[in-house]
Structure 1
Amino acid sequence: MRYDLANCQRVLTAVVIVGRVFAVSFCLERIFIRFPLRKFAFPLFPANLIMSKILIIEPFYGGSHKKLIDTITSNMHPNDYTLITMTAKKWHWRARSSSLYISLQIPDVKDYKILFCSSVLSLAELIGMCPGLSRLKKIVYFHENQIVYPKQSIKDRDYQYGFNQITTCLTADLVVFNSTYNMNSFLDNIDKFIKIMPDYKVKNVADLIKPKSSVLYFPINFSIINGVKMKGRKATNVNDVVHIVWPHRWEYDKNPELFFHTLYRLKDENVNFKVSVLGEAFTEIPDIFLEAHEALKNHIHHFGFVQSTENFYSILIDSDIVVSTADHEFFGVSMLEAVKCGCFPLAPNSLVYPEIYPKECLFKSNDELFAKLKSWCSSPNKLKDLRQRFDIGIDQFDTKVLLPKYLSLLS
């Protein structure tokens, strides 16, 4: 009997010791997760023992879509989320069919509480294939909307893109837009968009989406720009030859034709300037870029995508004016990055731009765009005075201000 009692005591002692070790390990693990030290800490538990809570899906993992996901996840513990992505190619096919591929990548859904995705994903289709996801809190982020995409005619429009975004919103619990313009242009045009259908035209669909819609500006990491600016010239300086920069995607909806034809007019009138054409090119490059590369060869400072973030910001810091000629823009990350680098913005008096920029930064016609560029290139001191007085409260778009709101949304 004594022998059995002694064995029981030893077993109980061992159990207590093991329990205390695991309790201490668990506490330390949670400390590493909570505080910045977690970035340098090695998890004390295997990753598969700490259940993920957030499922993040991005079918078009590139450009601003990638920047947003990377900004959010860089401030989360790796064990707190699972990220499923597809490459940033063939946008139209991602919008049409990504839900099928992604449905086959979904892990055991019981581990998750929140699903976060962009509006490129057809969320309704995904939930149909993975019904277990329906119990999650589903948050959709709109970088852009397809209901007001600029097409020459109704016949040219692929109706399915906009329709998928409507059904995605109806499926979601929260719909977050990157600007008020993005939200209003989407909600205000839903009924008009649905009227394109030949029959069974459902009314008042927007009323189902409005209550769960909100605006949260895109967070931009200005600390990197500040570091690069320390190496460059002061933002209030202006080059003797005014440097114009166009840092946008090389695609139809950014209206590169207007930009380049305006520069052709400056060249024809012997206005002195130099230009940098940045931004990312995809499979199909509009012919105007090849034409402009030759026609403006004596004015070009840089022409093409800049892979290095530091080099990209260095060119922006060396520039004086950043121009947008977009027909389709809902926020404009590169424009705000250029403004932070010291450029004076010039953009259409439409789309999202009046929401962000004062009237002196906006043009109402092609002729006004040309006139402003000609005036500033001919008299750099005018531009210098404008830049010194210019202030849009740029820090409201800083990651330091906006990131806590995103993390709160995902908590």
Structure 2
Amino acid sequence: MSILLIEAFYGGSHKQLVDLLQEEVEECVLYTLPAKKWHWRARTAALYFMQNVPANANYRILFASSVLNLTELIALRPDLGKLKKVLYFHENQLAYPVQKCQERDFQYGYNQILSCLVADIVVFNSAFNMESFLTSIGKFMKLIPDHRPKDLEKIIRPKCRVLYFPIRFPDVSREHDKDPENFFKVLLKLKEKELHFHVSVLGETFTDVPDIFSEAKKALGSSVLHWGYLPSKDDYFQALCMADVVISTAKHEFFGVAMLEAVYCGCYPLCPKALVYPEIFPAEYLYSTPEQLLKRLQNFCKRPDIVRKHLYKGEMAQFSWAALRGKFRSLLTTEPREDL
């Protein structure tokens, strides 16, 4: 095995990516930690992998997501420092919203900056993700009270590139941070207006679930079609194929795999006119305020034929594994630096 894949948060899109790479790229070996307690993974995963990744003289490439403190791992395992090190950003902590800024939160963004400094190539899943990270470094480092390092953006930027998250689209035929409060407020207003609709709320359930979810499920009542995690990918895609509209009310999003999967399955997307969405979706699918979202959904409830007959006007192929396969293979086949 010449490619070492390390994922400190093995769930969601993080799992989807490394599973795809292991399946589609030859000579990969994968080491993971479960997708639980993100903050602890960011703090301690390097020590775990130091002990649990066996030494192997055949390794040539190290690929890891930015949850891992790559700097710590390289310091603990000098043998891995000799590899070509690729760091992949699904999200970044410099642009990630926190409910209450505390001094300890500085460490997460700081770790990602350090990891970029020791990586050979830094890959982001969108231009929004890359620019929001790089342009925030200077301001972020000003949180240090004195003796601040300088010019880190200039050092890191030349290593950076954008490589969209590769989606293996299904073979289908048409049949807190995501702001659930605003999402459900809009749906409950539709309910108050006695407009007819059904809703599916799909996704993994983690330890802390906002109260709005249970309250909304009860209030929406018979309008709920599906609720919660569908373990079968086929069932998940079938639920998407049954839907007409897919909605995002995200307060942060660095790519949006689920939205693109839904659009591929025939859904009409409605997304905030912010974050990564203008990079991914044409303007007609973007809204600026909750009021605009409500107005469009009211119209769709009254005239469902508008969305059922609609042909999506954006480009989907560029996000497919078929289109991105070559770039990822190239990323994972370059020889390590000779001077190390």
Structure 2: runs of 5 or more not aligned: 334-340
Cα offset, 1:81, TM superposition:
2.6
Paired letter, 1:382: I
Q: Does 1:333 align with 2:257?
A: yes
Query: Any idea what SS the aligned residue of 1:297 has?
Result: helix
**Alpha-carbon contact 2:22-2:29 (below 8 Å) kept:** no
Q: Does 1:407 align with 2:294?
A: no
Paired letter, 1:304: G
**Alpha-carbon contact 1:109-1:133 (below 8 Å) kept:** no
Q: Counterpart in 2 of 1:184?
A: 131
Query: Any idea what SS the aligned residue of 2:7 has?
Result: strand
Q: In the TM superposition, what are the counterparts of 1:115-154 in structure 2 within 5 Å?
A: 115-154=62-101
Give the one of 50, 54, 61 matched to 2:3.
54
Q: Counterpart in 2 of 1:8?
A: none
Q: Counterpart in 1 of 2:102?
A: 155
Distance 2:216 2:249 in 1: 15
Q: Counterpart in 2 of 1:22?
A: none
Paired letter, 2:168: N
After TM superposition, the score normalised by the length of structure 2 is 0.95
Q: Does 1:65 align with 2:40?
A: no
Q: Counterpart in 2 of 1:206?
A: 153
Distance 2:28 2:246 in 1: 37
Cα offset, 1:89, TM superposition:
1.1
Q: Map Cα deviations across residues 349-389 of structure 1 (whole Å, 9 max, x no partner).
A: 0000000111111111111111111111111133345x23x
Cα offset, 1:153, TM superposition:
4.2
Cα offset, 1:197, TM superposition:
1.7
CA RMSD after TM alignment: 1.3
Pair 157,130 (structure 1): closer, same or farther in 2 beyond 3 Å: closer
Q: How many residues align?
A: 333
**Alpha-carbon contact 1:151-1:157 (below 8 Å) kept:** no
Cα offset, 1:398, TM superposition:
1.1
Query: Any idea what SS the aligned residue of 1:330 has?
Result: coil
Paired letter, 1:141: Y
Paired letter, 1:160: Q
Q: Counterpart in 1 of 2:120?
A: 173
Query: Any idea what SS the aligned residue of 1:392 has?
Result: coil
Distance 1:282 1:152 in 2: 18
After TM superposition, the score normalised by the length of structure 1 is 0.79
* Structure 1 segments (4+ residues) deviating >4 Å: none
**Alpha-carbon contact 1:72-1:403 (below 8 Å) kept:** no
Distance 1:276 1:263 in 2: 11
Distance 1:295 1:189 in 2: 41
Higher relative contact order (CA 8 A, sep 6+): 2
Paired letter, 1:64: S
Structure 1: runs of 5 or more not aligned: 1-51, 234-251
Give the one of 276, 280, 292 matched to 2:204.
280
Q: In the TM superposition, what are the counterparts of 1:227-376 in structure 2 within 5 Å?
A: 228-229=172-173, 233=175, 252-376=176-300
Q: Which structure shows the bigger proportion of residues in helix conformation? A: 1
Q: Counterpart in 2 of 1:194?
A: 141
Paired letter, 1:175: V
Cα offset, 1:157, TM superposition:
7.0
Q: Which has the larger radius of gyration?
A: 1
Paired letter, 1:205: L
Distance 2:302 2:144 in 1: 52
Query: Any idea what SS the aligned residue of 1:82 has?
Result: strand
